[in-house]
A and B are shown apart, each in its own frame.
Chain A
Amino acid sequence: MAEQPTALDTAFAALATFDWGQDAKALQPIDEAVVACHGNAGQRTELEARFTRLLSQPLSRAAVEYSCRKLCLIGTAACVATLAPLLDQPEHSHMARYALERIAVPAAGDALRKALGTVPDELKIGMIASLAARRDGQSVPAIAGVLAAASKADQTRLAVAAADALGQIQTAAAVDALAAAASTEPAVAAAVVNARLAAAEGLLAAKQPAKARAIYQSLAAAAAGQPDAKSIELAATRGLLACAELTAAS
């Protein structure tokens, strides 16, 4: 006699054909299983495997979105290979990033980095934003490359996204890449300055005043005596004071 399908089996069967407008109650056993597997590695692996099997077949956007939202909670390196191919599909790229950005395994970062080199330009901003959110230091050369290329090619939005990302990543290489960035496009130049200030603030918050001071000093020196750059000089001076206060306090 065939084994009776469990509630979870039924829910996954429903998810395979799920689309927007349908009653999401059918998926409730999956929601409950995601909650229940917390702290239970075996259940979690089994659940992750169900999602990866499901994502290997054609699905609606609604089903992919639902699966990615759950994988960002329970996903491990095991699901990366399933999610990575979705990154260059405009329809699913954002949700795949949504999951990979939050799965704290190096393989997820590798997948995003690899995709940055292959996805079309309109999806690159998303890859950069996800790598920045992961503060992925290994992606700095690639993002710095995007910044340089986009600045030359007048791709302002892409260049601004790359500058912002480097400001969030805040590694020494990111800081150097920002310092070396050269753009005559005002929006990009402003984004680079903002990113450098953000990087310095991040370093200050991480109690690294010497590194932060170097950025502030460079910005203050470049802005000194230029009326148009007074706000930059003010911000940098405020930062220098904060660095000095932190140094004195420690």
Chain B
Amino acid sequence: MVGERRMKMMLWSRLVVFLLGALLAANAGRGAAAAEPTDPVEMAIELLHRADADFRQLGLDAIAHATPGEAATYRYAAELSKLPAGQQRELLAAFRDRGDAAAAAAVTALLLASADADVRADAIRTLGVLGNATEVELLKAALAKPDPEQAAARRALVTLQGRDVGKQLADAARFGEPSLRPQLIDILADRRERSILPDLPAFLLEEDTALRLAAARFLGMFGGPEQVAGMVAGLLQTPAGRERDELARAVVAVSTNNRGHAEAAKSFLEQFKQTGAAEQEILLPTLGRIGGPEALGIIDDLVADPSRRAFGLKALTVWPTAEVTGRLFALLEVTSDSAERQQLLDGLIRIAPRPDKTINDGKRLELVKQTMALCQRDEDRQRLLDRTDAIRTVEAFRFVVGYLDNPALQEAACQSVVELAHHRQLRDAHKDEFMKALDRVIAVTKNEELSERANRYKAGKTWERKKA
């Protein structure tokens, strides 16, 4: 209610300023026109009303890039309401290029008066360029409209300049219309407006799923050590599923990538230690993904504890680096539990070929070979072969080529050979070997796409991955 009244007052004051400006400018224009029949503003306006688009463009160019000054802007702005919808949109585009805020009031008036959604969306876009904090209320209201206005308002609120814009948006995200709060948080993220950060962990505990997800996204991008405790509380309260995964990803990003990530990881570990066994089970996969020597110690203790071993193993198998492979191999050697064996093997299949800054490509291939030796089922071997193309070396290529003649594994081997052949430098450096292998792929694969790709690489062509 207060916002609505404020918006109306703002619009009225804008309108008064615009009418006064337009009146003064029109009089100035008339005076100039009488003395000088070649007034450029008058010429541009005349061109603006032409039926021929090429002539209109001349006028629009003059509006966008020449004839400077507020008085001229007022005269151009006064034409907005006289034009048909299509030409209104052209003029709005010219105003965006002109960048003179004097047109903002006329644009606002058009936004409120036009029955054409595309015109309104363009008016919103234009306010995003010309406006300031005064336009926040109006643009926020447009967020509640359907597209194209909503999309335009979202973009406009991202680009809108002005000292108080960020503060107003942050306040609206805190206390504003509930249905708009998630969008506003995303807008604040796009604006890199971090002042909302301290409030976000509390948003993770609110009822609105969209709000919680938006807060998690923001925290994942900009969160730091100060937010970790709140994020852990949110994680513990979030039911298992997509939302918890999103939030866990955000915690991992904060603890491994963002500003102060080492401190954040430490903070997460502290939180982990302070929670009870049931909560720790929820946090374990996240702990595994964050990694680190202290976390590894905790997981080792869990693995050693028969009552919590399964959780420890789960964390171990999602570890981000190869430092746990030794443990996984050792555990595989001694375990007699088939489910546990499979879990450990799955972990190795995931971790061994995975890009990892802590070990070189040769070591990764060695881990793959060791893992392959432990696989007893073809489906495991297939998965491992399928992932081996992550090691982009000729040795890895030769390893997978060795499986091209194995009927049970050749399709997975074909996949990896073709993926490795995609890398021109690797392919061209070992042309003869690759040509021979690609011929073999073409001969044995039942996958048409792989066959097509193999043929393209043989011919020195590239291949564009289809978008999902």
Complex: chain A residue closest to B38, CB-CB = A244
CB-defined interface of B38-65 with A at 8 Å, one 1/0 digit per residue?
A: 1111011001000010110010001000
Chain B residues numbered 372-412 whose CB sits less than 8 Å from any CB in chain A: none
Specify which of A230, A240, A244 lies most central, judged by the most chain B CB atoms within 10 Å of its CB. Answer: A244
**CB–CB B58/A213 < 8 A:** no
Judged by a CB distance under 8 angstroms, whether B36 is at the interface is: yes
**In the complex, chain A residues whose CB is within 8 Å of the CB of B52:** 230
Complex: chain A residue closest to B41, CB-CB = A248
Judged by a CB distance under 8 angstroms, whether B455 is at the interface is: no
The size of the chain A interface, using a CB distance under 8 A, is: 12
**CB–CB A237/B55 < 8 A:** yes
**In the complex, chain A residues whose CB is within 8 Å of the CB of B55:** 234, 237
Judged by a CB distance under 8 angstroms, whether A79 is at the interface is: no
**CB–CB A245/B67 < 8 A:** yes
Q: For the complex, give the distance between the alpha carbons of A79 and B58 in Å.
A: 51
Rounded to whole Å, the gap between the CB of B464 and the closest CB of chain A is: 40
Contact of B44 among A230, A234, A241, A247 (CB under 8 A): A241
Judged by a CB distance under 8 angstroms, whether B17 is at the interface is: no
Complex: chain A residue closest to B66, CB-CB = A245
Rounded to whole Å, the gap between the CB of B46 and the closest CB of chain A is: 10
**In the complex, chain A residues whose CB is within 8 Å of the CB of B67:** 245, 248
> If A213-B38, A237-B47, A240-B38 touch, does A245 touch B58 (CB 8 Å cutoff)?
no
Judged by a CB distance under 8 angstroms, whether A243 is at the interface is: yes
**CB–CB A245/B40 < 8 A:** yes
Q: For the complex, give the distance between the alpha carbons of A237 and B54 in Å.
A: 11
**CB–CB B39/A241 < 8 A:** no
Complex: chain A residue closest to B69, CB-CB = A248
Q: For the complex, give the distance between the alpha carbons of A248 and B41 in Å.
A: 10
Chain B residues numbered 1-25 whose CB sits less than 8 Å from any CB in chain A: none
**CB–CB A243/B58 < 8 A:** no
**CB–CB A247/B36 < 8 A:** yes
**In the complex, chain B residues whose CB is within 8 Å of the CB of A61:** none
Q: For the complex, give the distance between the alpha carbons of A248 and B39 in Å.
A: 7
Complex: chain A residue closest to B72, CB-CB = A248
**In the complex, chain B residues whose CB is within 8 Å of the CB of A213:** 38
- A-B residue pairs in contact (CB < 8 Å), sample of 9: A234-B58, A237-B58, A240-B43, A241-B47, A241-B62, A243-B38, A245-B62, A248-B41, A248-B67
Beyond known contacts A244-B40, A245-B67: 6 more, CB 8 A cutoff: A230-B52, A237-B47, A237-B58, A241-B47, A241-B58, A248-B67
Task: Please give me the 10 A-B residue pairs with the lowest Cβ-Cβ distance, nearest first.
Answer: A244-B40, A244-B38, A245-B40, A245-B66, A248-B40, A241-B62, A241-B43, A244-B43, A238-B58, A237-B58
